[in-house]
Amino acid sequence: MAKNTIICIYFLFFTNSTRAVILTENCIQNTYSAEIGVREATGKNDGEQVEKYLSSTGLGKGNAWCAAFVNWTLKKCGIKTINSAWSPSWFPASKVVYENGKGSPQTGDVFGIYFSSKKRIAHVGFIDKWGDDYVITVEGNTNNAGSREGDGVYKKRRLKRQIYKVSRWRN
């Protein structure tokens, strides 16, 4: 009888933990996906929705907002964030799950692209699907060309080798 109770408790804990991770992952994906198509009002890091992203980090219109989009999305899902619009800050060692071509990114993880001209990660967004050669992403403050200073939220197809680091922020 005690053995069955332990198995039952383990099963309940395991399935509830797994369910919580799936619900969080779904929330992240549903939240960022609903934002695809948001565009800046005048092309100057502004507009009602862009300003909501920025305000989640304490910033106002006119600031770069790719990391603010990440922050806003995670906060909408009840995830504790660092409230930062600074792209490099999204990759503390304790959260990194992919680096130097090693790791297993998942849907809802945050990716970073390194820019040599800036000598740092200078653009972030979400992994939507991790493939063998390509990654499907959803990212703010980009455009059709994949710029880090774009005009909206886009779903992109990027080469996997463009991704420098990936972090996981689920609770």
* DSSP symbols for 86-130: -GGGG--GGGEEEETTEE---TT-EEEEEETTTTEEEEEEEEEEE
What is the per-residue pLDDT for 77? 96
What are the residue boundaries of the structural domains of the chain, listed by start?
2-167
pTM: 0.87
Query: What is 2-167's CATH number?
Result: 3.90.1720
Number of neighbouring beta carbons within 10 Å of residue 101? 8
Residue bearing the bigger pLDDT, 88 or 8: 88
Length of the chain as a residue count: 171
pLDDT tens digits along 87-110: 999 999 999 999 989 999 999 999
2 pLDDT above the threshold of 70: no
- Give the type of residue at 143: N
Answer whether residue 155 shows pLDDT above 60: yes
Question: Residue 25: its pLDDT value, please?
Answer: 83
- Distance of alpha carbon 152 from the chain centroid: 15
- Residue 106 is encoded by which pair of tokens? 């998942």
Instruction: Specify whether the CB–CB gap between 109 and 103 falls below 8 A.
Output: no
